[in-house]
Amino acid sequence: MSMIEPVEDTHGFPFTEGATKFEIIPTDAADPSSATFVVHDEDHTLGNSLRFMVMKNPAVSFCGYSIPHPSEFKIHMRIQTDGSITAAQALNQGLDDLVALSEHVLATFEAKVAAKGDYETRDI
């Protein structure tokens, strides 16, 4: 019997090599407009930002997240839509919107720093 050894990821959270980032908690398969997703190795930083972006979608009726326990590095995100899109589509759109917003903020910041001229920037 082999055990999977935990390793450290770049954020300092315990991470199991080969583990999946997202999973869906089984619910009523006949209703794809409602689902609970588990996002591993994340905390309130992503949870609150992603919840905000998902709720901006007019097809989303409810989006909330929780962290089951402070020692667990995962969030549970519950999404319910009006049925015009699935909960998975709402999550994907929220992730895409969050990436686009983050890229815009980074580009704006780098442009302002470069315009100032006194600072050196480096790639992350």
Q: Is 34 exposed, middle or buried (0-12, 13-18, 19+ CB in 10 A)?
A: middle
In a 3-state reduction of DSSP, which class is residue 100? Answer: helix
* pTM higher than the cut 0.85: no
CB atoms within 10 A of CB 86: 17
Which tens digit of pLDDT belongs to each residue from 79-90? Answer: 999 999 999 999
Identify which of 74, 51, 75 has the alpha carbon closest to the alpha carbon of residue 64.
51
Domains in the chain (CATH in brackets) are: 14-116 (3.30.1360.10)
By mean pLDDT, which of 3-12, 26-35, 65-74 is the weakest? 3-12
DSSP symbols for 66-96: E-S-TTS-EEEEEEEE-SSS-HHHHHHHHHH
Confidence (pLDDT) at 17: 61
pLDDT at 12 over 90: no
Q: Residue 69, CB half-sphere, CA atoms under 13 Å: how many? A: 2
Which tens digit of pLDDT belongs to each residue from 22-69? Answer: 898 877 778 899 999 999 999 999 999 999 999 999 999 999 999 999
